[in-house]
């Protein structure tokens, strides 16, 4: 993940609520520069009215796609066709597909086959096939924040926090073991990358922690060690107890 990565952000307006837009765009900038920002929908439909208020503020280009037949989602097809055109234009290094619809599973797979980084963003209801087709998948609910009376940003809502189950601990322990040296110590950055390869929707914020380090520290089955690097940086290492 690098700031030099140019991303095409493609949003399915039919499957994403507009209330997440500000936090979502801030999140995307962590992974690269959103060079292209497009949102797809039938803007003649009343249920998309709320989107119109936030598009200009975030410089997102609305793409009109009429619903030709009842029960068919023409938006999906338009978004997929645009994604392939953008792929062949070679203007970006990666894609951010914003939807909770499993119809984009094949698209994510195809883009990754072409060497693109693919970030998925959607609600927790997103089907697993789409999630695992992405390099990383982020739940919108963990981006939603409460606003205090002064208009500032609050803490993530407690409703979005998952429990640290034995299954989660097993994932962490196995990943540490897989990335460890002969003494059992593993660089936490390598562990985090390995976890994402195994489970793209893994995010420490799902469990109420902003970073991976405090998540590991909260579990007594791990040892944590800080090591100085060239006197300037401190690297975090972890080992299974």
Name the phi and psi angles at 131, rounded to 5.
-60, -50
- pLDDT given for residue 25 in this prediction: 92
**CA nearest to 97, candidates 63, 72, 124, 122:** 122
- pLDDT given for residue 152 in this prediction: 47
DSSP 3-state assignment of 11? strand
* pLDDT, tens digit (0-9, with 9 covering 90-100), for 98-150: 999 888 999 999 999 999 999 999 999 999 999 999 999 999 999 875 433 33
- pLDDT given for residue 233 in this prediction: 73
Cα dihedral: 23, 25, 31, 35 (round 10) = -170
Identify whether the C-beta of residue 16 lies closer than 8 Å to the C-beta of residue 23: no
- pLDDT given for residue 160 in this prediction: 59
- The single residue listed with the structure tokens 């949102």 is 39
State the pTM of this model: 0.85
Describe the crossing of helices 105-113 and 74-89 by its angle, rounded to 10 degrees.
10
Produce one character per residue of 164-203: b if its CB has 16 or more CB atoms within 10 Å, e if not.
Answer: beeebeebbbebbeebbeeeebbbbebbbebbbeebbbbb
DSSP 3-state assignment of 121? strand
Name the phi and psi angles at 207, rounded to 5.
-110, 10
- pLDDT given for residue 68 in this prediction: 58
- The single residue listed with the structure tokens 């380090």 is 213
For the purposes of burial, counting CB atoms within 10 Å of the CB of 132, is it exposed (0-12), middle (13-18) or buried (19 or more)? middle
Tens-level pLDDT at each residue, the chain (241 residues): 455 899 999 999 888 888 889 899 999 999 999 999 999 988 888 878 888 878 888 889 998 877 654 444 666 888 999 999 999 999 999 999 999 988 899 999 999 999 999 999 999 999 999 999 999 999 999 987 543 333 445 454 544 578 899 999 999 999 999 999 999 999 999 999 999 999 999 999 999 999 999 999 999 999 999 887 766 678 999 999 9
- pLDDT given for residue 106 in this prediction: 94
17 contacts: CB under 8 Å, gap ≥ 6: 123, 140
Label the pairing between strands 33-41 and 6-12: parallel
- pLDDT given for residue 14 in this prediction: 85
Domains in the chain, CATH or no CATH each: 6-157 (3.40.50.1010), 166-240 (3.30.420.610)
Return the biggest CA–CA distance within the chain: 64
């Amino acid at each position: 993940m690098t700031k030099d990565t140019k991303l095409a952000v493609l949003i399915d307006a039919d499957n994403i609520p507009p209330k997440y837009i500000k936090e979502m765009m801030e999140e995307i900038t962590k992974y690269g520069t959103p060079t292209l920002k497009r949102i797809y929908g039938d803007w003649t439909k009343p249920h998309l009215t709320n989107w119109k208020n936030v598009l200009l503020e975030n410089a997102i280009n609305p793409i009109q796609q009429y619903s030709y037949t009842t029960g068919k989602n023409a938006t999906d097809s338009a978004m997929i066709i645009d994604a392939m055109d953008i792929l062949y234009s070679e203007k970006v290094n990666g894609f951010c597909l914003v939807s909770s619809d499993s119809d984009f599973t094949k698209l994510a797979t195809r883009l990754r086959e072409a060497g693109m980084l693919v970030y998925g963003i959607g609600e927790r209801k997103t089907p697993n096939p789409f999630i695992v087709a992405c390099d990383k998948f982020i739940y919108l609910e963990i981006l939603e924040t409460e606003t205090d009376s002064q208009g500032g940003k609050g803490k993530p809502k407690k409703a979005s926090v998952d429990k640290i189950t034995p299954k989660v601990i097993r994932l962490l322990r196995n990943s540490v073991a897989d990335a460890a040296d002969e003494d059992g110590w593993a660089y936490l950055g390598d562990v985090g990358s390995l976890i994402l390869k195994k489970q793209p929707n893994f995010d420490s914020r799902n469990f109420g922690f902003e970073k991976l380090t405090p998540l590991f520290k909260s579990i007594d089955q791990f040892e944590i060690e800080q090591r100085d690097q060239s006197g300037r940086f401190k690297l975090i290492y972890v080992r299974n107890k």
